[in-house]
Amino acid sequence: MSKKILILPGDGIGPEIMAEAVKVLKVASEKFDLGVELEFDDLGGAAYDRYGVPLADETLARAREADAILLGAVGGPKWDTIDPALRPERGLLKIRSELGLFGNLRPAILYPQLAEASTLKPEVVSGLDILIVRELTGGIYFGKPRERRVLENGERQAYDTLPYSESEIRRIAKVGFDMAMVRGRKLCSVDKANVLASSQLWREVVEEVARDYPEVELSHMYVDNAAMQLVRAPKQFDVMVTDNMFGDILSDQASMLTGSIGMLPSASLDIDGKGMYEPCHGSAPDIAGQGIANPLATILSVSMMLRYSFASGQAADAIEKAVSQVLDQGLRTGDILSDGCTRVGTAEMGNAVAQALKNL
């Protein structure tokens, strides 16, 4: 049976990196007989320009029908001044919440070939392999009420709300424990339970879920300490589970341990394992249109898609091996360039991975 994949290139560098990911996906499909069927649509600013909204109803319907979704990135200065409710990022938040994609997996793996590209000392980061599990459809990014108002004294005030229900915490905690079970069996839950009521409930529920996973060593850490530990001694972590906002920040921080945000894929899964796959980075308007963006995060997102949504571990492993071989050849986009390596553009990098995959 064929597998339907909805491709949403998005804005900025989105279309450039997506072209390379599609190239690699087509090679993988042929090589491993995956029978994928690709459909293309717009999200974010591109959707606003085409449909007048950042996520059109017909696009959402296509996303519901698809077996998996592959997304580039959204946003850019062109849409910074439009009605906030229609901004590109709103389309992204909406598709995540409408599809119930609550479980965001963000691996931060340092390819040994890139140890020099990290701003941290090689001995601190070499061998790094962390998985951040971020809650994606709750918390402060979705909480209501959120409001901006003018107080009686004429001062402007704005506030957001940070709600978490027991069931939301329980299901993301389970994802964290399940991932720990197939990795190093260590889970660190990150919160701010010394200050926030929502974090106190978070910690309580995580402790309850832990009773079903006696083999996993659970620890708790305040988010400020976690941020510090991530740069001090990141290899102490195996799996980290945390809420939407803390996960947003910590996963970007973790990405820099690996040299560049241009290397990091992510998966967002619903309760049945259906997923949307995308690089962790944004639309990088500063380098869009120049053909220099690193497509590897998007290519590695294809690998995650084949692993988690299509149970094609063999094809996923092959893509990761092809990426590793290309790095061995010394090919680097500007963001991961170091002495003695060859600088290549987006398409050259994509072509090299596709070729390495063909040759495996």
> Where on the chain is the footprint of ligand NAD (CB under 6 A)?
13, 17, 73-76, 89, 92, 261-262, 278, 281-287, 293-294, 297, 335
Query: Which DSSP symbol is given to 32?
Result: T
- Which residues lie closer than 8 Å to 35 by C-beta, 6 or more apart? 1, 2, 3, 29
DSSP string, 204-220: HHHHHHHTT-TTSEEEE
Q: What is the CA radius of gyration of the chain?
A: 20
Least Å distance between CB 314 and ligand NAD? 27
Is 224 designated active site? yes
Region of 52 (left: φ > 0; alpha: ψ -120 to 50; beta: rest) is: left
Q: Which of 49, 80, 212, 224 is catalytic?
A: 224
Please check whether residue 187 is in contact with residue 216, taking contact to mean a CB–CB distance below 8 angstroms: yes
Is 141 designated active site? yes
> What is the pairing mode between strands 3-10 and 239-242?
unpaired
Is 317 designated active site? no
Least Å distance between CB 210 and ligand NAD? 31
Least Å distance between CB 10 and ligand NAD? 6
Taking the least distance from each CB to ligand NAD, the nearer of 73 and 239 is 73
Taking the least distance from each CB to ligand NAD, the nearer of 97 and 229 is 97
Is 41 designated active site? no
Q: Which of 48, 111, 141, 164 is catalytic?
A: 141
User: Which residue(s) pair with 8 in the sheet?
Assistant: 71
Please check whether residue 307 is in contact with residue 266, taking contact to mean a CB–CB distance below 8 angstroms: no
Least Å distance between CB 203 and ligand NAD? 28
Q: Which of 11, 41, 238, 248 is catalytic?
A: 248
Please check whether residue 16 is in contact with residue 46, taking contact to mean a CB–CB distance below 8 angstroms: no
Q: Residue 269 and residue 100: Cα distance in Å, rounded?
A: 8
Taking the least distance from each CB to ligand NAD, the nearer of 260 and 312 is 260
Taking the least distance from each CB to ligand NAD, the nearer of 147 and 286 is 286
Taking the least distance from each CB to ligand NAD, the nearer of 76 and 138 is 76
Taking the least distance from each CB to ligand NAD, the nearer of 35 and 289 is 289
Q: Which of 3, 23, 174, 192 is catalytic?
A: 192
Least Å distance between CB 92 and ligand NAD? 6
- Which residues lie closer than 8 Å to 309 by C-beta, 6 or more apart? 3, 67, 68, 273, 274, 275, 277
Q: Which of 8, 4, 65 is nearest to 29 (CA)?
A: 4
Least Å distance between CB 17 and ligand NAD? 6
Is 248 designated active site? yes
Query: Which DSSP symbol is given to 235?
Result: G
Please check whether residue 94 is in contact with residue 55, taking contact to mean a CB–CB distance below 8 angstroms: yes
Q: Which of 252, 270, 317, 321 is catalytic?
A: 252
Active site residues: 141, 192, 224, 248, 252
